[in-house]
Amino acid sequence: MFKILPISMKVLPFKIPKTKNLGLIYQEDIGAFFYDKYHEHEEVQLCYIIKGEGTLIVGDTVNEYHSNDILVIGSRQPHVFKSDNSVIKKSSMISLFFTKKSFGETFFELDEFKEIAPFFSKSKNSFRIVNNKVKITKLFLKLQKSRDLVKFTVFIKMLTVISSSKVESLSSFVYEKKYTDNEGKRMRNIMDYTLQNFNKKIELDDIAEIANMTSNAFCRYFKQRTNKTFFTFLNELRVENACRLLQNKDYSVIDVSERSGFKNISNFNRKFKELKKITPSNYRLNN
């Protein structure tokens, strides 16, 4: 089970409830899996993966996450962590949730905070921290036993360091409109089904039925919200899974292809090179 402090999760979209009148919400997730439902929230999520690895979908983009990653998920950016516990049996993550207005309408517009302005502009597409990770990790670990006021001062230090750090974007497309409850549930069902079945054959009619739409309507719906076709997204998901499997020498390249949902090795090689600019065999050698 997860140890969650102090918030519980709901389907997309959802609000993060507070147990106290706090602008900054601290949470620990500990368990075999992270919360695995496609969801969004108004708050920016700043998180440190202590242990764990798997697939992270943010907006239109399929990413991997690993132990020691430091990630920022932007406000209202739909996302899901799909944990892979084949290697790491128990995952753990520390998160901070906040909005730009958590501490007052104009708090972050004060002159004292000019140097952290880049944080909020970069967070729109979500990102991964590339450098300064040791310094930021120490600040995260300091949060675990700190009182609320100390948490706040550590948080401000963290934003200052992150604002001057090198980052990698996690998403290239932001869907500007807010999801209604029905839309949120529909996208969650689409993502849940895809994550559970990506290594099997998925026909357009199958996924359209999950969305309770005609095939043509589903194609328009999905592309409007992710800026790519469903099958482009599906291939990206399969290739990211293949990247993890290729690091396990027990699997041949053909095994990896089949376990990732590709019909044949030639199609696998073509799609892999198209997305990663390298063949599966060379990717294995480099990793």
> Angle at which helices 133-143 and 148-163 pack, to 10 degrees?
170
Whole-structure pTM value: 0.80
Sign of the C-alpha dihedral computed for residues 118, 130, 85 and 59 taken in this order: positive
Task: Report CA-CA distances (Å) from 232 to 19, 61, 129, 130, 239.
Answer: 41, 10, 26, 27, 11
Give 10-residue mean pLDDT values along the chain (287 residues).
Answer: 35 53 86 86 94 90 93 92 82 94 90 89 92 95 90 94 93 70 85 93 95 95 91 94 90 94 93 94 89
CA angle 195, 198, 204 (to 5 degrees): 105
Assigned superfamily of 25-169? Regulatory protein AraC (2.60.120.280)
Assigned token pair, 9:
């999760």
For the chain, the 3-state helix, strand and coil shares in percent, each to the nearest 5, are 45, 15, 40
Note the pLDDT of residue 9.
Answer: 38
Tens of pLDDT, residue by residue over 178-217, are 667 777 888 889 999 999 999 999 999 999 999 999 999 9
Sign of the C-alpha dihedral computed for residues 113, 119, 123 and 128 taken in this order: negative
Note the pLDDT of residue 174.
Answer: 65
CA angle 272, 172, 116 (to 5 degrees): 130
Sign of the C-alpha dihedral computed for residues 10, 233, 229 and 127 taken in this order: positive
The CATH 1.10.10.60 portion of the chain extends over 198-286
- CATH pick for 198-286 out of 1.25.40.10, 3.20.20.60, 1.10.10.60, 2.40.40.20: 1.10.10.60
The CATH 2.60.120.280 portion of the chain extends over 25-169
